[in-house]
């Protein structure tokens, strides 16, 4: 039988009040407190906190505090990834980010979702992975919804809400985000 953590990571309905998940979130919150409050400036100590919080990153991974996430261990990044201030990453399911990806201020990545059935929603939630390809720029205050894939080379305009997959090398804007043109052609 799968643990609640295994269910969470694989997209099954799970109980978020599971003791292991509570412990994992508490660990992340303690590290985030140290990053966002105690260190705040990017120092050697802040880099150590970031590495402990989000161990699955390439070189040149940079976070501008404040930053928020649920677990940290479900965030996988390539080389040269930058999160500007006030980004929120609900990483209940894996979030895979390519190399050379830049997140403007206030970007939110949500893998967490909830059942439409009201009774089930009282006790369970679920999560769907997010994938963002290489060389993307996600504009300020954009929201990436659960289960979304953004292809390589994309630009997501500021304030967009991405509810459907975005093909590579395109510019998408709006709420909901719509592709308005191809890029690099």
Could you list the active site residues? 114
Q: Position of tokens 């659960």?
A: 146
Contact 149, 168 (CB under 8 A): no
Nearest to 93 by CA among 148, 130, 45: 130
Q: Kindly tell me the sign of the dihedral angle through the C-alpha atoms of 46, 47, 48, 53.
A: positive
Query: Please, how many CA atoms are within 13 Å of residue 71, restricted to the half-sphere of its CB?
Result: 24
Angle CA 155–160–161, to nearest 5:
120
CA–CA distances in Å: residue 96 to residues 1, 36, 80, 156? 26, 23, 14, 17
Judged by DSSP in three states, 171 sits in strand
């Amino acid at each position: 039988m799968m643990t609640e953590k295994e269910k969470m990571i694989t997209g099954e309905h799970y109980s978020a009040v599971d003791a292991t998940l509570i412990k994992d979130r508490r660990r992340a919150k303690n590290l985030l407190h140290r990053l966002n409050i105690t260190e705040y400036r990017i120092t050697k100590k802040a880099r150590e906190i970031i590495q402990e919080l989000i161990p699955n990153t390439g070189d040149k991974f940079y976070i501008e505090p404040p930053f928020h996430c649920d677990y940290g261990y479900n965030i996988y990044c390539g080389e040269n990834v930058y999160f500007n201030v006030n980004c929120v990453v609900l990483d209940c399911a894996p979030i895979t980010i390519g190399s050379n990806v830049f997140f403007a201020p206030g970007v939110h990545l949500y893998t967490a979702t909830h059942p439409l059935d009201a009774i089930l929603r009282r006790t369970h939630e679920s999560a769907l992975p997010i994938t963002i390809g290489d060389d993307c720029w996600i504009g300020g205050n954009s929201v990436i919804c659960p289960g979304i894939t953004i292809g390589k080379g994309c630009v997501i305009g500021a304030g967009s809400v991405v509810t459907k997959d975005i093909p590579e090398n395109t510019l998408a804007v709006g709420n909901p985000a719509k592709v308005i043109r191809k890029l690099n052609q």
